[in-house]
Amino acid sequence: MKVRRVQDADAAGRRIKSEGWDSVRLLLKNDNMGFSFHITTIYRDANLHLHYQNHLESVYCMSGRGEVETVEDGKVYPIEPGTIYILDKNDKHILRAFEEMKMACVFNPPLHGKEVHNAEGAYPLDAEEVKD
């Protein structure tokens, strides 16, 4: 069994920061679970253009408010605590935060740990691994 606390993971270098967000990566590829699990903060007024071409993602909102828009059809979905959105078709999307949002995120295949979005809004498959 593995037990991790967000505070400990943060102190161990598992927090990744980028423009508009930061993410504490609690479970990664080297944990051998087949998925990764992160607590991500989307900063107020963030407007993130994302397209996870290599990963499927599920995102659960724990706090804050915003919206997600699917680029293909222009549909906009409100996000508030208790909302989950599932990117099951590598959906190109825009995530907007009206206030800071805390999200629980699951990725398949799992992330290595050091990923940040590339120019297309995707994570690469071969990023640097976080060591325990």
Kindly list the structural domains of the chain, giving each domain's residue range(s) and its CATH number in brackets, ordered by start.
42-103 (2.60.120.10)
Residue 26 per-residue DSSP state: E
As a whole number, the mean pLDDT across the chain is 93
- Give whole-number Cα distances, 39 to 19, 60, 107, 120, in Å: 16, 10, 12, 22
Residue 121 has pLDDT above 70, yes or no: yes
Distance from the Cα of residue 36 to its chain's centroid: 10
Residue 2: which residues within 8 A CB-CB, separation 6 or more?
Answer: 27, 31
How many whole angstroms separate alpha carbon 69 and alpha carbon 5? 32
Can you give the pTM of this predicted structure? 0.91
**Proportion of the chain above pLDDT 70, given as a percent:** 96
